[in-house]
């Protein structure tokens, strides 16, 4: 055995480009999170679920808008929830739960499970930076997931106006604040619980399943609460229906009344749903920072 060593010149040179610091790291985490969530630059199977959910949101909206143009005599009122931005939230809102569940668990669970957080800790990244980058990715993707189908319906419905598309856009423009506000309610109202579950989930499938089951179980509270009940226990349980709180915000913004909503069943104002969403988001943020300060 030779005792001689060999030195290899690997051509290492120090980084001579700009050092972008925390801002650059934040931007890189958002871009990386978007690619991971949508399965970009990953194996084909990683693209199936996210893009199938995206298609399930966009295709029906585009189809029903096209239907009103192709079939003579079909009006906006004939296509049910696809003819009203408010009612369409019942379709896209329920689908967004599945999208949020998938995206959030994919972003948070693998980093913790495979020790990726240690790599982030070696960069100029703080726990708050990491959490904000992940939360921003989830919020932007979910917002687009909801608003793009709504935009298709908005322009499609406006184009069907008897006085022309411009008149339809002018008439429907008054609904834009309500649409945007309700979209934000769904993003935060569904995103915060998903974030909280993914903070402690051990596997992507487990975190996704726990979140979806929990959300739909809280939705079942609407059937458990008697109509016009004044009992204190039901007044406490009604705001805990995480599934329906964004719908209560929708009713509040669009100035509608839906007796099936848990808050309406116990004679509570629908804006309480917005308060619960904000409180839950703040609690999630505090727990997330406490949890990840130990990791990064």
Which pLDDT tens digit goes with each residue over 167-198?
Answer: 878 888 888 999 999 999 999 999 999 999 99
| 3-state SS record for 166-216 | HHHHHHHHHHHHHHHHHHHHHHHHHHHHHHHHHHHCCCHHHHHHHHHHHHH
pLDDT at 3: 61
Whether 144 contacts 233, CB under 8 Å: no
pLDDT at 280: 95
Compute the half-sphere exposure of residue 46: CA atoms within 13 Å on the CB side of its CA: 14
Report the percent of the chain where pLDDT is more than 70: 88
- The pTM of the full predicted model, rounded to 2 decimals, is 0.88
pLDDT band at 72 (very low <50, low <70, confident <90, very high): low
With 90 as the cut, is the pLDDT of residue 33 above it? yes
Q: How many angstroms separate the CA atoms of 101 and 193, rounded?
A: 9
Closest CA to 145 of 60, 61, 65, 57: 57
For the ranges 40-49, 62-71, 144-153, 164-173, the one whose mean pLDDT is highest: 144-153
Rg (CA), the chain: 23
With 70 as the cut, is the pLDDT of residue 289 above it? yes
Whether 60 contacts 91, CB under 8 Å: yes
CA dihedral 172, 178, 184, 186 (to 10 degrees): -100
Q: Greater confidence, 138 or 228? A: 138
Query: What phi and psi, each to the nearest 5 degrees, are found at residue 285?
Result: -65, -45
With 90 as the cut, is the pLDDT of residue 277 above it? yes
What is the average per-residue pLDDT within 228-238? 84
């Amino acid at each position: 055995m030779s005792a001689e060593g060999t030195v290899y010149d690997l051509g290492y040179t120090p980084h001579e480009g700009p050092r972008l610091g925390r801002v650059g790291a934040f931007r890189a985490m958002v871009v990386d999170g978007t690619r991971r969530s949508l399965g970009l630059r990953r194996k084909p199977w990683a693209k199936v679920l996210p893009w199938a959910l995206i298609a399930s949101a966009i295709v029906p909206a585009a189809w029903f808008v096209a239907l009103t143009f192709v079939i003579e005599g079909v009006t906006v009122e004939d296509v049910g929830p696809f003819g009203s931005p408010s009612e369409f939230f019942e379709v896209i809102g329920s689908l967004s739960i599945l999208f949020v569940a998938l995206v959030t668990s994919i972003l948070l669970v693998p980093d913790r499970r495979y020790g990726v957080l240690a790599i982030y800790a070696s960069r100029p990244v703080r726990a708050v930076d990491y959490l904000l980058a992940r939360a921003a990715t989830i919020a932007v993707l979910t917002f687009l997931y909801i608003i793009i189908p709504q935009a298709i319906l908005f322009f499609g419905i406006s184009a069907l106006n008897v006085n022309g598309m411009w008149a339809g856009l002018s008439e429907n423009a008054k609904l834009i604040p309500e649409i945007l506000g309700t979209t934000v309610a769904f993003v935060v109202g569904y995103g915060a619980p998903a974030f909280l579950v993914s903070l402690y989930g051990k596997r992507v499938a487990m975190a996704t399943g726990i979140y979806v089951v929990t959300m739909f179980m809280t939705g079942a509270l609407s059937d458990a609460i008697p109509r016009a009940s004044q009992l204190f226990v039901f007044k406490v349980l009604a705001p805990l229906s995480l599934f329906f709180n964004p719908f209560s915000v929708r009713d509040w913004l669009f100035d509608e009344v839906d007796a099936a909503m848990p808050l309406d069943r116990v004679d509570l104002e629908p804006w309480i749903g917005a308060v619960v969403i904000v409180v839950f988001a703040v609690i999630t943020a505090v727990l997330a920072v406490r949890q990840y300060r130990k990791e990064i």
